[in-house]
Amino acid sequence: MILEKGSRLVMAGDSVTDCGRNRELPPCFWSTWGDGYVHVVYANLLAFAPQSSIMVINQGVSGNTSEDLNNRWDSDIMSLKPDYVSIMIGINDVWRWFDSALRQEKLVDKDMFRANLRSIMDKTVSHVKKVFLMTPVLFELNETEPMFIKKREFDAVIKEVAQEYNQLFIDCQTPVDRVLKYQHPYMFTMDRVHPNLPGHTLIAESFLNAIELDRSK
């Protein structure tokens, strides 16, 4: 497994990461992992690698764009002195182009998204052992749907930045696309963006495979 024994993993993102976590308690109390993929990751690490004693901290904040995450990075993420950091961000950057275009809000385009990710990397890479850059997911059957197309464009930026900084890129969308060949998106989400437990399990599986957790023992 990539994660070293006794290390601290901070998982950052938006509502898909946050998933109702309790922010009133210190990290690693029962309700602080939320009800999503972070909790599934923690459960698997504890169950299948108990000897590794990995500390998992959920630092997702609902509604965050990449700009929001960049602005809180030092105070919310780096202040925790992580050994490893995972980042799943971008779905709100994409979504706002479609649900907020008439509100005259500041919209994040691809160049701004890239700049935000690079800023985060500049503040992180030299201080941690590895950054895991995860793509957000959209449970969408129609690959020509405009929001899906834009999300794929942002995914490409995530991969580009991961390669630029020699960090680990995790494609969470492809496993989603695969299961949607057999089951409707409503089996995994009610709004295409916020997963239920099966949807979060898919995201967690992408992460656990990427860190090479051995669950055969």
Give the helix ranges, DSSP H, for the chain: 15-18, 37-48, 66-72, 91-99, 110-122, 146-164, 173-179, 197-210
Q: Strand, coil or helix: what is 41? A: helix
Q: Which residues are catalytic?
A: 15, 191, 194
For residue 78, the tally of other CB atoms under 10 A from its CB is: 16
**Measured distance CA(197)–CA(195) in Å, rounded:** 7
Task: Give the orientation angle of helix 37-48 with respect to helix 197-210, to 10 degrees.
Answer: 50
100-121: b (≥16 Cβ within 10 Å) or e? eeeeeeeebeeebbbbbbbbbb
- In DSSP notation, 42-61 reads HHHHHHH-GGG--EEEEEE-
Task: Give the orientation angle of helix 146-164 with respect to helix 110-122, to 10 degrees.
Answer: 30
CA 4 remoteness from chain centre: 20
Q: Strand, coil or helix: what is 144? A: coil
